[in-house]
Amino acid sequence: NTKGFIFDLDGVIVDTAKYHFLAWKKLANSIDVDFTETQNEQLKGVSRVKSLEKILSWGNKTISEDEFMALMAKKNDDYLSYIDKMGESEILPDVPKILNHLNENNQGVALGSASKNARKILQKVNLISNFQAIVDGNDVSKAKPDPEVFLIGAKALHQKPENCIVFEDSVAGVQAANNANMISIGIGDKTVLSEADYVFKDFTEISIEFIEELIKK
Ligand code: G16
Ligand code: MG
């Protein structure tokens, strides 16, 4: 039995949300806009363009197209300065255990991320060889909750959507998995991710037996 397992990146494999937060906060403050952790929650799984649009609307700012592009570049440069220092120690607990089990049992493994920096991050934490397919912000035109990112992932794994399982930490991502007709596994808070088929706090709560059940389903 072969299934397709599709992983979100930020919040599932690594905690890059804290670096997005630092970079967005610095940028927002530089244009006199307040930026809180609560607001940052609303940017999870959201593309870079959409994130900046939200920050500008929270601050009631209108800027030119050129300024918009310049701010996006500034945020990304700052974000990349954190990414450059990343290493294997930043992989979230028990992620390698699950990835290795899937790889050893010839299951399809793909990444489905909104980030344009996904490949770079996977290289930094030395996990790139665990993935047969990488679908990221460079490959999609429609953001989560649209199912596009996961449907492209399923195709790359030669799997039907109903034989795919998605791991996601964001509400929009869980909705995207459900919209793709895949099994959705929320990683995080049960009350926030209530639309997911299953929710676990993190991968330390996911047993190999549970993974085996998903493979046999
Ligand atoms: C991630 C983050 C978002 C971020 C987006 C785009 O998505 O959750 O906060 O805005 O990627 O990232 P970048 O600016 O690197 O292209 P995911 O889907 O991996 O959770
Ligand atoms: Mg995420």
Q: Whose CA is nearest to atom 14 of ligand 1?
A: 48
Annotation marks residue 169 as catalytic:
no
**Would you say the ipTM is above 0.85?**
yes
Residue type, 49: V
The pLDDT of residue 10: 95
Which pLDDT value is given to residue 91?
A: 98
d(CA 178, CA 164): 11
User: pTM to 2 decimals?
Assistant: 0.94
Q: Given its phi and psi angles, is residue 164 left (phi above 0), alpha (psi -120 to 50 degrees) or beta?
A: beta
Alpha carbon separation from 56 to 28, 46, 51 (Å, rounded): 8, 15, 9
Report the pLDDT value the prediction gives residue 30, as an integer from 0 to 100: 96
Q: Name the closest ligand to CA 44.
A: 1
How far is residue 142's CA from residue 93's CA, in Å, rounded to a whole number? 30
Integer angstrom CA distances of residue 51 from 27, 58, 59, 86, 97 = 12, 11, 13, 23, 33
Q: Is 11 in the pocket of ligand 1 (CB under 6 A)?
A: yes
Q: Would you tell me the crossing angle of helices 208-216 and 95-104 to the nearest 10 degrees?
A: 40
* Confidence (pLDDT) at 41: 85
Q: How many CB atoms lie within 10 A of CB 167?
A: 27
89-101 tens-digit pLDDT: 999 999 999 999 9
Mutate to test the pocket of ligand 1, among 19, 20, 84 (most ligand atoms within 8 A of CB): 20
Residues of the chain with pLDDT under 70: none
Is 10 among the residues known to form the active site? Answer: yes
Tokens found for residue 172 = 């929009």
Distance CA 64, CA 96 (A): 44
If one residue of 40, 113, 170 were mutated to test the ligand 1 pocket, choosing by the most ligand atoms within 8 A of its CB, it would be: 113
CA-nearest of 29, 91, 89, 86 to 55 is 29
